[in-house]
């Protein structure tokens, strides 16, 4: 039966592939066997070569060795020395194992006590003995020509891996190295067969692994990927992370018909959700824009960009009891004359410039607002009285030195009168503080303007 999407049926494909997958899976054990062979055989061969080398060395370096061979010291050992042949035969026994096997009579082996066993020799070790720059001994099975390194070199990488030579230095009584014994396990037919078998098993194991990998990739892989993709689609829908889904829809890799049908339905859900979300987004954008406009109008003075009076008071509501409180009221001197002389447009330029100087003077440390007309207010906490006064003086001087460019009238300057109140620990209301600051401002105006007055019970004045 063909599915509408044209995809393969998952259940049918699994049934058809089950038998072949099972047969190949059985061969996986070959990898384990090959690893065990590689781990075990090589150290055993090294151990055997090491034992033979040290057995030969113990005999050569024993205290009785020079005397037994008619020489005074080990370095003098040569084929001309008496007893050399006996030493040669002793070393030769290190590389050959004699064993006996029974003769075969038909299909049954004869028993040993009948005296018909046949002795055999098995060459097990390659051995080279070098002494004082001379080669004294070389196994008969090695090439008689060339150096020891050339003679011991293997024919192929398999022998080289399993039969790495062992090198044992010969040291005299003074601790000087005078020779070298090179030994290795001879690569017998059994090792060769085991090596070939291990390679074949490894190849079969790798083939098994590769076939199972391909089957899994063809069967399980697409299903897992597709189900994972569907799971992520619905998870992102549930979490509200839908922008990319709305843009691209559900994108599936090559999959099976059953999963693709689910994906089609998921795509329909996303399309419908996209439509409703688009409508909601438009409504939210409209509301956000209206909210920003309302917030701006409710908190910011449209001309100067400072806080308006209402929002200024809201920001101060919870901070009136903070220590080191300062409230300063500022008024532009003779502002009415400026408006009358240059016009209200010029007055607006002065107000904007005045607000800019105010922002630069206090930065983000203070709350600054416009109370109306040419009157401004600054609120600051956490400063001592002297620092508050110094700051007010710096602000007064900065306003006096500022120049404001008026259209068609060039630049002019203004001055400001400042009245301020400072309280180490305030217990009064804002209205009480405002009345004190306003009285100090009036005192600055009355004293000739362009000055700072600090209010207290006696309205202490400080002239600029």
Please check whether residue 260 is in contact with residue 7, taking contact to mean a CB–CB distance below 8 angstroms. Answer: yes
Handedness of CA 92, 96, 98, 104 (dihedral sign): negative
| pLDDT tens-digit series, residues 338-363 | 888 899 888 999 999 998 998 888 76
pTM for the whole structure: 0.41
Beta bridge partners of 184: 126
β-bridge mates for residue 183, sequence order: 127, 166
Q: Quote the Cα angle for 45-49-51, to 5°.
A: 115
Q: Which class for 326: exposed (0-12), middle (13-18), buried (19 or more C-beta within 10 A)?
A: buried
User: What's phi and psi for 280, nearest 5 deg?
Assistant: -65, -40
Q: How far apart are CA 169 and CA 172, in angstroms?
A: 10
Cα dihedral 14, 17, 22, 28, rounded to 10, equals: -100
pLDDT bracket for residue 464 (50, 70, 90) = very low
- Determine contact, residues 136/129, Cβ cutoff 8 Å: yes
Question: 409 is written with which tokens?
Answer: 């009238």
Other C-beta atoms lying within 10 Å of the C-beta of residue 62 = 10
CB 131 within 8 A of CB 61: no
pLDDT at 24 over 50: yes
Instruction: Give the strand order in the sheet containing 134-138.
Output: 134-138, 125-131, 177-185, 166-171
229-258 in b/e form (b: 16+ CB < 10 A) is bbeebeeeeeeeebeebeeebbebeebbee
β-pair partners for 171: 177
pLDDT, tens only, 242-273: 666 666 666 666 566 666 766 677 677 777 77
- Given a cut of 90, is residue 325 above it in pLDDT? yes
Residues 318/325, Cβ–Cβ less than 8 Å: no
- 31 pLDDT tier (thresholds 50, 70, 90): low
Mean pLDDT, rounded, for 323-350: 91
The pLDDT of residue 218:
72
For the chain, the straight-line distance linking the first and the last C-alpha, in angstroms and rounded, comes to: 100
Whether 100 contacts 87, CB under 8 Å: no
Q: Minimum mean pLDDT among 18-27, 115-124, 438-447: which range?
A: 18-27
| CA dist list (Å): 146 to 49, 63, 79, 142, 256 | 22, 33, 19, 10, 68
Please state the φ and ψ torsions of residue 331, each to the nearest 5 degrees: -135, 135
Give me the residues paired with residue 177 across strands. Answer: 171
Q: Which residues pair with 180 in a beta bridge?
A: 130, 169
32 half-sphere exposure, CB direction, 13 A CA radius: 4
**Of the listed ranges 34-38, 56-60, 123-127, the one predicted with least confidence:** 34-38
Please tell me the predicted confidence (pLDDT) of residue 149.
85
C-alpha distance from residue 443 to each of 163, 368, 431 (Å): 109, 22, 18
**Domains annotated on the chain, with CATH:** 25-96+122-207 (no CATH), 228-291 (no CATH), 307-462 (3.30.70.270)
């Amino acid at each position: 039966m063909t599915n509408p999407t044209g995809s393969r049926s998952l259940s049918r494909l699994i049934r058809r592939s089950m038998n072949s997958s099972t047969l190949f899976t059985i061969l996986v054990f070959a990898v384990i066997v090959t690893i065990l062979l590689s781990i075990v055989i090589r150290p055993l061969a090294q151990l055997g070569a090491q034992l033979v080398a040290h057995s030969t060395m113990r005999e050569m370096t024993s205290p009785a060795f020079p005397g037994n061979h008619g020489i005074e010291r080990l370095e003098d050992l040569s084929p001309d020395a008496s007893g050399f042949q006996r030493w040669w035969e002793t070393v030769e026994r290190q590389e050959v194992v004699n064993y006996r096997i029974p003769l075969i009579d038909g299909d049954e082996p004869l028993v040993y006590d009948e005296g018909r066993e046949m002795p055999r020799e098995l060459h097990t070790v390659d051995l080279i003995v070098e002494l004082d720059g001379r080669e004294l001994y070389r196994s008969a099975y090695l090439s008689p020509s060339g150096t020891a390194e050339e003679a011991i070199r293997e024919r192929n990488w398999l022998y080289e891996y399993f039969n790495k030579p062992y090198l044992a230095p010969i040291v005299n009584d003074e601790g000087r190295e005078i020779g070298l014994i090179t030994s290795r396990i001879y690569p017998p037919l059994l090792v060769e067969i085991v090596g070939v078998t291990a390679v074949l098993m490894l190849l079969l194991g790798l083939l098994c692994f590769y076939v199972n990998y391909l089957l899994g990739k063809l069967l399980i892989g697409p299903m897992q990927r597709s189900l994972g993709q569907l799971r992520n689609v619905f998870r992102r829908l549930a979490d509200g992370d839908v922008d990319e889904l709305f843009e691209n829809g559900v994108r599936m890799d090559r999959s099976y018909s059953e999963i693709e049908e689910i994906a089609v339905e998921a795509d329909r859900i996303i399309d419908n959700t996209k439509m409703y979300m688009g409508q909601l987004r438009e409504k939210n954008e409209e509301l956000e824009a209206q909210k920003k406009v309302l917030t701006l109008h409710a908190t910011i003075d449209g001309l100067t960009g400072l806080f308006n009076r209402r929002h200024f008071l809201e920001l101060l509501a919870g901070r009136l009891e903070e220590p080191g409180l300062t409230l300063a009221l500022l008024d532009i001197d003779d502002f009415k004359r400026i408006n009358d002389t240059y016009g209200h447009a010029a007055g607006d330029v002065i107000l904007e410039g005045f607000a800019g100087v105010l922002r630069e003077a206090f930065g983000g440390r203070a709350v600054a607002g416009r109370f109306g007309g040419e009157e401004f207010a600054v609120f600051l906490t956490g400063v001592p009285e002297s620092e508050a006064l110094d700051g007010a003086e710096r602000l007064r001087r900065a306003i006096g030195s500022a120049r404001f460019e008026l259209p068609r009238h060039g630049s002019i300057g203004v001055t400001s009168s400042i009245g301020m109140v400072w309280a180490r620990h305030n217990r009064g209301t804002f209205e009480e503080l405002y009345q004190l600051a306003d009285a100090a401002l009036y005192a600055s105006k009355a004293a000739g303007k362009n000055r700072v007055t600090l209010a207290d019970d006696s309205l202490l004045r400080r002239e600029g």
